[in-house]
């Protein structure tokens, strides 16, 4: 099509993949962030707000979207620097921890909340700007720091209204995966830089197990995979033996399920049989039972023990793998001992996290209740938060290892979850509307609305064209106003106003004439001096 001459009008559109948030959506998010901040603060975390823009070199490239422009980051050149929008709140924290390392306390606990940007392929429900709400501890090597983050995450979820039982925090450890890769021959402890690219592909492939299925992951571990659109993703090029071992890890959750099913089928056996005849898993369950003198360990407690058992076999003699298992056991022990029990915390081998920078414990908070998808089919809500330990992110800047661990809550997903549970933003009450009957009395109408506002009542004067009174009523209706104030020439002369209960009067057609409107009993005439008290009375009815 030939371009027409002259400047054309700009399109009034959000860029692809971005959206706007209105009224109650904004305040519901604000309220949620405030509640989470309160929990983070109580745990001793201090607020930090970095700018949206960082240098590309400071951010580093850790997103899994290697096939996107700038590897998934919005970036541009500015004089000699490449600048970019932050894609998470962790990379900027690493920069801050290095930049201010002389001044910050060690360990440094900080929380941050704000939007992040990812240059993802836009798609339905996928947005390129979204909120995160993070808390991290920098400078603490102890697994107690990881455990603390998990406990705090549980408290934060409950603070915003996710009931206990409606969520579970799944914990795993990257060192275990590294142990598995060592056994598979794609990690050489003597030279960790070998096979780095292959391990990246393996990590991202396992993280996609849910979406791609075993065959998809197998293809990515081998030569590669063609998706439905025909796009080809290069694989890690591993041989069959290596693939088989990695797949055992990818499917460890299934192995856990099998153990649990066996256990639950014959829980008595575990306690009646001779100790030597038991599997390592059954032994662990029995020891745990005898140590605590509690009920037989089933459910998530047994699941955690089973996970340690299954993973233990996959790491064989890998030292790193063993250290990962020990950390997992410690974290869960610390949490269970404090009452963050198996109803909330479970070891789960399926958690790997897609980001490349994790080095130790990783965790995800999953909501366990079902919602209906777009097609009305029930499905689990899924993950709303995740995090883990990343001991090398600060080292990028300083050359010295600085242990760090943290969590990021996906604010928008969590809001969607609350919405699905019927705890989303309700219909907010609109403002009182002072209608305009007489254009020459603008100062008087403003005085009325001012009086209401100074009394703390949300109020507006109608500011559109006052000629058509019906439009003013339509406006009040659209604003969900509980009350309208009416003062014509006659009322003004007598020093009174009409106070109209619009909630009671909702049945009146929006195009009713002024006369009809006035004849309704939901309307009272009061002296001007009583206006505020009368409005308060009506608002109290609907509070």
Which residue positions form the known binding site for L-histidine? Answer: 88-90, 118, 132, 136, 353, 357-358
Minimum distance of a copy of itself from residue 434's CB (angstroms): 10
Name the minimum Å distance from CB 334 to a copy of itself. Answer: 5
CB-nearer residue toward a copy of itself: 114 or 354: 114
C-beta closer to a copy of itself: residue 49 or 290? 49
Return the DSSP state at 353. Answer: -
The least CB distance from residue 126 to a copy of itself, in Å, is 14
Q: Which residues pair with 485 in a beta bridge?
A: 434, 499
C-alpha 386/C-alpha 207 separation (Å) is 13
| Residues 193, 188: Cα–Cα separation, whole Å | 8
Nearer to a copy of itself, 131 or 249 (CB): 131
For residues 505, 511, 515, 519, the Cα torsion angle rounded to the nearest 10 degrees is: -20
Q: Helix H segments across 338-436?
A: 395-398, 411-420
Write down the least CB distance from residue 460 to a copy of itself, Å.
3
Q: Where are the beta strands (DSSP E) in 69-145?
A: 75-78, 81-85, 108-117, 129-138
| Nearest distance from C-beta of residue 95 to a copy of itself, angstroms | 5
* Nearer residue to a copy of itself within complex by CB, 202 or 345: 345
* Complete edge-to-edge strand list for the sheet that includes strand 496-501: 459-461, 432-434, 483-486, 496-501, 523-527
Alpha-carbon separation of residue 170 from 147, 219, 352, 380, 382 (angstroms): 12, 27, 10, 15, 11
74 vs 119: CA distance, rounded Å:
6
Q: Which residues are annotated as a binding site?
A: 88-90, 118, 132, 136, 353, 357-358
Nearer to a copy of itself, 23 or 189 (CB): 23
In the complex, what is the shortest distance from the CB of residue 26 to a copy of itself, in angstroms, rounded to a whole number? 4
Provide, rounded to whole angstroms, the least separation between the CB of residue 412 and a copy of itself. 12
Residue 107: CB minimum distance to a copy of itself, A: 5
Length of the chain: 543
Nearer residue to a copy of itself within complex by CB, 141 or 504: 141
Q: From edge to edge, which strands make up the β-sheet containing 53-55?
A: 53-55, 81-85, 75-78
Q: CA–CA separation, 152 vs 17, rounded Å?
A: 32
CB of 543 to a copy of itself, least distance (A): 16
Token readout for 352 is 């790997």
Backbone angles phi, psi at 216, to 5 degrees: -60, -45
Cβ(433)–Cβ(479) below 8 Å: yes
Phi, psi of 142 (to 5 degrees): -70, 140
Place of tokens 């993973």: 311
E strand or H helix at 314: helix 299-315
Tell me whether residue 261 or residue 450 sits nearer to a copy of itself (CB atom).
Answer: 450
Say how far apart CA 202 and CA 238 lie, in whole Å: 9
Q: Which of these, 469, 407, 394, lies nearest to 433 by C-alpha position?
A: 469
Least distance between a copy of itself and beta carbon 262 (Å): 31
Q: Which is nearer to a copy of itself, 245 or 528 (CB)?
A: 528
Rg (CA), the chain: 30
Q: How far is the CB of 474 from a copy of itself (least distance, A)?
A: 9
Q: Which is nearer to a copy of itself, 35 or 283 (CB)?
A: 35
The strand pairing partners of 76, in sequence order, are: 83
By beta-carbon proximity to a copy of itself, the closer residue of 121 and 234 is: 121
Taking Cα atoms as reference points, which of 516, 433, 520 lies closest to residue 474?
433
**Could you check whether the bond before residue 107 is cis, i.e. omega within 30 degrees of 0?**
yes
346 Cβ neighbours under 8 A, 6+ residues apart: 168, 169, 170, 171, 300, 303, 304, 307
């Amino acid at each position: 099509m030939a371009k027409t001459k002259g400047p054309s009008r700009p399109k009034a559109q959000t860029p692809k993949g971005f959206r706007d948030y209105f009224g109650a959506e904004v305040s519901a998010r604000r309220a949620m962030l405030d509640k989470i901040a309160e929990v983070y603060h109580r745990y001793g975390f201090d607020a930090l707000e970095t700018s949206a823009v960082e240098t590309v070199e400071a951010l580093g490239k850790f997103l899994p979207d290697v096939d996107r422009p700038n590897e998934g980051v919005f970036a541009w050149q500015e004089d000699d620097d490449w600048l970019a929008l932050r894609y998470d709140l962790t990379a900027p924290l690493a920069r801050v921890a290095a930049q201010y390392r002389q001044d910050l306390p060690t360990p440094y606990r900080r929380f941050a909340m704000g939007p992040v940007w990812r240059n993802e392929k836009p798609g339905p429900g996928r947005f390129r700007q979204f909120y995160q709400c993070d808390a991290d501890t920098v400078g603490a090597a102890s697994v107690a720091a990881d455990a603390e983050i998990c406990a705090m995450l549980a408290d934060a979820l409950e603070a915003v209204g996710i009931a206990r039982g409606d969520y579970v925090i799944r914990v795993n450890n990257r060192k275990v995966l590294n142990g598995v890769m060592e056994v598979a021959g794609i990690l050489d402890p003597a030279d960790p830089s070998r096979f780095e690219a292959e391990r990246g592909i393996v990590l991202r492939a396992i993280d996609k197990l849910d979406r791609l299925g075993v065959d998809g992951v197998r293809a990515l571990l081998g030569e590669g995979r063609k998706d439905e659109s025909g796009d080809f993703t290069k694989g890690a090029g591993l041989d069959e033996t290596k693939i088989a071992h990695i797949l055992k890890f990818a499917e460890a959750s299934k192995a856990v399920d099998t153990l649990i099913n066996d256990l639950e089928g014959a829980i008595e056996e575990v306690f009646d049989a001779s100790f030597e005849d038991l599997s390592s898993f059954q032994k662990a369950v029995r020891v745990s039972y005898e140590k605590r003198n509690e009920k037989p360990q089933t459910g998530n407690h047994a699941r955690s023990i089973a996970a340690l058992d299954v993973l233990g076999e996959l790491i064989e003699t890998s030292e790193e793998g063993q250290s990962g298992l020990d950390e997992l056991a410690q974290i869960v022990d610390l949490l269970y001992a404090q009452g963050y029990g198996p109803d909330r915390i479970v070891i789960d081998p399926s958690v790997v996290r897609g980001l490349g920078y994790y080095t130790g414990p990783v965790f995800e908070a999953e909501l366990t209740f079902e919602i209906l998808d777009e097609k009305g089919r029930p499905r689990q809500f899924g993950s709303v938060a995740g995090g883990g330990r990343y001991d090398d992110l600060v080292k990028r800047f300083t050359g010295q290892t600085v242990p760090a661990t943290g969590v990021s809550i996906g604010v928008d997903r969590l809001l969607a979850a609350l919405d699905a549970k019927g705890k989303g933003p309700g219909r907010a009450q609109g403002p009182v509307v002072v209608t305009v009957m007489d254009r020459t009395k603008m100062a008087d109408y403003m005085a009325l609305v001012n009086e209401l506002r100074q009394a703390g009542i949300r109020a507006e004067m109608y500011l559109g064209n006052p000629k058509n009174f019906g439009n003013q009523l339509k406006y009040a209706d659209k604003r969900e106003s509980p009350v309208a104030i009416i003062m014509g020439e006659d009322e003004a002369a007598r020093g009174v106003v009409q106070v109209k209960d619009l909630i009671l009067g909702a049945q009146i057609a929006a195009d009713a004439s002024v006369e009809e409107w006035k004849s309704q009993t939901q309307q009272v005439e009061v002296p001007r001096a009583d206006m505020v008290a009368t409005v308060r009375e009506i608002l109290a009815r609907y509070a």
